[in-house]
Amino acid sequence: MVESKKQWKAWLYLAPALVLLAIFTVWPIFNTVRMAFLENYSGLKAAGGETFAFGIGNFKKVLEYKKFVNCLKTTALLCVATVPISTLLALLISVALNSIKPLQRLLQTIFFLPYVTNSIAIGMVFAAMFNIVGSFHGTQNEIIATAGIVNNVIEFFGGTAVNWINSGSSYAANITVMIIYIVWNALPFKILILLGGLQSINKQYYDAAKVDGSTRSRILWRITVPLLSPMLAYVIITGFIGGFKEYTSIVGIFGATMGPPDDGGRLNTMVGFIYDALSTNSQGRASAAALILFGIILVVTLINLAVSKKNTHY
Amino acid sequence: MASNTIATMKEKNMQSVKTASQIGKVMAMILTYAFLIVMAIIVLFPFYWMINSSLKTLDEYRQSVPTFWPKVVMFSNYAEAFSAANLGRLFINTMIVGIISTILSLVITVITAFAFARLEFKGKNILFAGLLATMMIPGELFTITNYSTVTTFGWINTYTVLIVPFLVSVFYIYLLRQNFMQIPNELYLAAKVDGTSDLKYLWKVMIPLSLPTLISITILKMMGAWNSYIWPRLVANDDAHKLITNGLRSAFTETTGDVNYPVQMAAVALVSAPLFLVFVFLRKYIMKGVSRSGIKG
């Protein structure tokens, strides 16, 4: 009798969480799959009493859609470029941080700062830095007259100013800006994790290497990196997952139009595509795209896990 | 092999090898510091540029050769930004949502974690594994249906829509459960023998013992409200409920032409300031919470 009373109490404690999860987590899983497999499903039409046939038309349409392929391309490009760069930089910074004593805490705090920012707000700062300042009307002369701080620095070192994000800018220039911003944004988390890992490595390994007279780079690649591999695998996997969901950093720099003023949507991503479909009440297409995104993330994560299992040394 | 060579060297040679390695060490230290300081400057530069730009007059901002500190310091830009972006209202909205959702979320997280950590019931492990499995699914998948759901509930443009759908975080439940599990069960049984009620035990023993985790959750949750953009833009776009990030972005939505950048940068600085203040005072909790969660805000 006491037992059944206890059972009842446990479910009482769980009730609020379970009710909310049922509505906002479990039901969406089923419903999103359902909508994805109903041809041209639209919430608006469904409310009007229309019924939809079962089929895989949404997936076909999404994949045939040129815009979606572009979103996929941009997302994948950003992912493939930013994850290795930010991981390598974070590794070098963490190793350097771990080898010094004075200033370590101060520098550690500085490197964590980008994490406690609003990615939209600081995106606007980056936009201002890359922007061409002044009343810009698209003529070549004006670009050179008032170039913006990043272009000023480039010119100082003898380069020529680049139209980074304004009207008439190239896709390559846009992507470069995004890569710089995303790497800047991704560093703090990676440094935090890697430095934590480094600090837990047993000092004996390094003493042994010193006795053997190993060089610094040999120690880094033969001792530090293998011992750090679980943490490296972790930051790479979370980096890829985050990368495939890239959206707000682009809104920060380019605004909700997701592209330079003369070519809105040029830098749209997978997540952006889903929200665009949602805002036009095409829930069927949005759901199909979301499932494709889930599939991609799953596959990438599994590949990462398989690779890291081979190369991870515990 | 190296140690063999050293062993056969004469005293004099030993000395020179020692100085050489000393010099190498110093050089390596200098390079390390140089690298770190250059990287730190790159990391800090956007913040410096934000403050520098926010204090300039528009004319000075537009000079072809930028100045690295404003000639005339325009604090009035901040006042202008505050009114131009309607920041006061946005601050209030965001605080209301942040505080209410944090409190409710903490209550739900604590009692759920307690049930999973201490109480026995049928299907506990399966249920918990099921909850953890939902963490793998990207949030966008939920958003599509949740948008329809909240529309059906008539929640569009309310505080409810910004608070309720995100009250339960499986990750926070997981985090707190792990923490609760570390508290010895004997303590709980002793309390039971003494006739202490579950809630009293929770309040007097478990919550104080897991305070660091609860503080981390609170900070991350508040930062989440401050930084959330996608969902608020979708469901609460009216002035009475707009949140700060969405308001900031839409107040300065032009990316070219005659945008008053100093004022825009002042608004950005105002929005960033509370996050920095929190960071300065609660650095330890934030870094601890983040290193365990791996989520951004």
Taking contacts as CB-CB distances below 8 angstroms, the residues of chain A near B192 are none
Quick check: B226 pLDDT over 50?
yes
**Does residue B161 sit within a domain?**
yes
Note whether B123 and B260 are same-domain residues.
yes
Three-state DSSP state, B295: coil
Q: Do the Cβ atoms of B168 and A17 come within 8 Å?
A: yes
Domain-located, residue B68: no
Residue A93 belongs to a domain: yes
Indicate whether B20 and B143 sit together in one domain: no
Q: Across residues B81-98, what is the average pLDDT?
A: 91
Q: Do A122 and B141 touch (CB under 8 A)?
A: no
Same domain as B163, residue B281: yes
Q: Out of A139-143, A199-203, B9-13, B253-257, which region has the weakest mean confidence (pLDDT)?
A: A139-143
| pLDDT digit string, tens, across residues A257-301 | 888 888 888 999 999 999 988 888 889 999 999 999 999 999 988
**Residue A207, min C-alpha distance to chain B (Å):** 14
DSSP string computed for A42-59: -HHHHHTT----BSSHHH
Q: Does B96 lie in the same domain as B47?
A: no
Q: Which amino acid is at B237?
A: N
B64 found inside a domain: no
Of A117, A128, A73, A206, nearest to B259 (Cα)?
A: A128
Query: In CATH, what number is assigned to the domain containing residue B270?
Result: 1.10.3720.10
Q: Given this model, what pLDDT does residue A152 score?
A: 84
- Contact status of B125 with chain A (Cβ, < 8 Å): no
Sign of the CA dihedral A268, A271, A277, A280?
Answer: negative
Q: B22-36 pLDDT, tens per residue?
A: 888 888 889 999 999
Q: Do A290 and B149 touch (CB under 8 A)?
A: no
B62, part of any domain? no
pLDDT at B3 over 80: no
pLDDT value of residue A139: 47
How many domains does the structure of chain A reveal?
1
A241: nearest CA in chain B?
B138
Computed over every residue of chain B, the mean pLDDT equals: 85
Q: Which residues pair with A38 in a beta bridge?
A: A54
How many alpha carbons fall within 13 Å on the CB side of residue B219? 26
**Residue B133 and residue B141: Cα distance in Å, rounded?**
14
SS3 B107: helix
The answer to whether residue B59 sits within a structural domain is: no
> Would you say residue B229 lies in a domain?
yes
A184 and B122 in contact by Cβ < 8 A? no
CB-CB contact of A121 with B272 (8 Å): yes
Mean pLDDT across chain A = 86
Nearest to A126 among B46, B226, B249 (CB): B46
pLDDT digits (tens, 9 = 90+) for A50-61: 788 888 888 988
Mean pLDDT of B8-20: 64
DSSP per residue, A30-42 = HHHHHHHTBTT--
Q: Is the pLDDT of residue A151 over 90?
A: no
B34, B23, B291: which is closest to A92 by C-alpha? Answer: B34
Q: What percent of chain A has pLDDT over 90?
A: 40
- Domain shared by B200 and B277, yes or no: yes
Cβ distance B253 to A187 less than 8 Å, yes or no, reads no
pLDDT at residue A44, rounded to an integer: 77
The partner residue sitting opposite B287, judged by closest CB among A43, A165, A192, is A192
Residue A288 lies in a domain: yes
- Rounded to the nearest 10°, the torsion over CA A85, A88, A92, A95 is 140
Higher pLDDT among residues B274 and B63, named by residue: B274
> Does position A159 have pLDDT exceeding 60, yes or no?
yes
A248 in a domain, yes or no? Answer: yes
Tell me whether residue B113 is in a domain.
yes
A10-22, pLDDT tens digit by residue?
A: 899 999 999 999 9
- The answer as to whether A145 is a domain residue is no
User: Is A284 within the bounds of a domain?
Assistant: yes
pLDDT of residue B197: 85
Model pLDDT, residue A280 = 87
Mutation to test the B interface, candidates A3, A4, A25, most B Cβ within 10 Å: A25
pLDDT higher than 90, residue A222? no
Q: What is the pLDDT of residue A144?
A: 43
Kindly state whether residues B182 and B262 are assigned to the same domain: yes
B257 touches chain A (CB under 8 A): yes
Is the pLDDT higher at B106 or at B287? B106
Within-domain flag for A156: no
As a dihedral over the C-alpha atoms of residue A90, residue A96, residue A98, residue A103, rounded to 10 degrees, the angle is -110
- The residue that leads in pLDDT, B78 or A142, is B78
Which of A43-47, A290-294, B216-220, B263-267 shows the lowest per-residue confidence on average (mean pLDDT)? Answer: A43-47
Of A6, A35, A136, the CB nearest to B120: A6
Residues of A in contact with B66 (CB under 8 A): 149, 152
- 8 Å CB contact of A135 and B223: no
- Residues B118, B198, single domain; the answer is yes
Binned at pLDDT 50, 70 and 90, residue A2 comes out as low
B158-200 pLDDT, tens digit each: 999 999 999 999 989 998 998 898 888 888 888 888 888 888 8
Same domain as B125, residue B88: yes
pLDDT value of position A293:
93
Domain that holds residue A300: 59-131+166-311
What is the rounded CA–CA span in Å between residue B224 and residue B246? Answer: 13
> Are B19 and B108 members of one domain?
no
Mean pLDDT is lowest, of A53-57, A211-215, A242-246, B204-208, for: A211-215
**Would residue A17 count as lying in a domain?**
no
- Interchain CB distance below 8 Å, A247 and B230: yes
- The residue ranking higher by pLDDT, B4 or A312, is A312
Does residue B12 surpass a pLDDT of 70? no
Say how many domains are in chain B: 2
Give the percent of chain B with pLDDT over 90. Answer: 35
Q: How many CB pairs under 8 A join A and B?
A: 266
Task: Residue B39: list chain A partners with CB under 8 A.
Answer: 89, 93, 111
d(CA B153, CA A129): 44
Q: Are residues B124 and B247 in the same domain?
A: yes
Give the minimum alpha-carbon distance from A310 to chain B in angstroms, rounded to a whole number.
Answer: 23
Contact between B168 and A252 using a beta-carbon 8 Å cutoff? no
User: Residue A250: which of A173, A165, A169, A178 has the closest Cα?
Assistant: A178
The contacts of residue A9 (CB under 8 Å, 6+ apart) are: B119, B198
Same domain, yes or no: B26 and B169: no
Contacts of A109 (CB under 8 A, 6+ apart): B283
pLDDT by residue (tens digit) across B117-152?
Answer: 988 888 899 999 999 888 888 888 899 999 989 988
From CA B287, how far away is CA A116, in angstroms rounded?
Answer: 10
Arithmetic mean of pLDDT, B96-114: 94
Q: Which residue range(s) make up the domain with B175? A: 78-293
Q: How far does B276 lie from chain A, in Å, by closest CA?
A: 7
A106: domain CATH number is 1.10.3720.10
Confidence of residue B256 (pLDDT cuts 50, 70, 90): very low
